[in-house]
Amino acid sequence: MPIIEDEQRTIEYTLTTLSDVHFIKIYLDDLNGAHVTAPEAKSTDKVDDFLHKKTQWMKEKWQKLHQDLYKSVEWDSDQPVRITYLGRAYQVMMEPGTQTRFYFSKGKFFFTYPEQLTQQEIQSELERAKEEWLKEKAEEKFNSLHKWTILPEPDKLRLGYKEERTIYLNWRLIQRPKQKIATVVDDLIEERTY
């Protein structure tokens, strides 16, 4: 599968070349990611150049389609900070300390951060810790959802893909309820497109 890489991410895509097509088209399948159709006469370099120009558009479009997977931790002074895990939003208990710690216990997240950090640094550190924790949980939980082998993969602007008897899921799906994750797995097994 061809890829486009920039400083932030790798985008894998499916390329179809056709003789009766006169321009390059990008289609973002809600499940499987980017599909590119190009004229047979276009060189691979020209297709790559075009796609590099469109990476920001693809990223924005994908994140708009899947807003629930890309929500940053919300900081509203009137509401407690919450993080979504397996479809439920759990409160984050925060306090200054000597080092960064992040864990989940008894239905709440706990986040300790160095006292000298600014508000923006605290937010950034919490976002980093949240993503690291969710990636670890995706690795633990995905395989228990189905009889097929299910492994997490980096965020490649797709929900996942199937390879023989293994399903690879975007780690961000760990934020959705188990039933919705199972639906994505079934759709990948059945090779559906959205």
User: Amino acid letter at 176?
Assistant: R
In this structure, is residue 194 part of a structural domain?
no
Domain-ending residue, one of 82, 102, 130: 130
Digit-by-digit pLDDT tens for the chain (194 residues) are 788 877 677 788 889 999 999 999 999 887 888 899 999 999 989 999 999 999 999 999 999 989 999 988 877 777 889 999 999 999 999 999 999 999 999 999 999 999 999 989 999 999 999 999 999 999 999 989 889 999 999 988 899 999 989 999 999 999 999 999 999 999 999 988 76
Q: Do both 150 and 168 map to the same domain?
A: yes
- Count of structural domains within the chain: 3
Beginning with the edge strand found earlier in the chain, give each strand of the sheet holding 88-97 in spatial order: 82-85, 88-97, 108-114, 101-105
Residue 135 covered by a domain: no
In which domain, by residue range, is 80 found? 71-130
60 & 96 share domain: no
So what's the pLDDT on residue 194? 64
Q: What is the pLDDT of residue 159?
A: 94
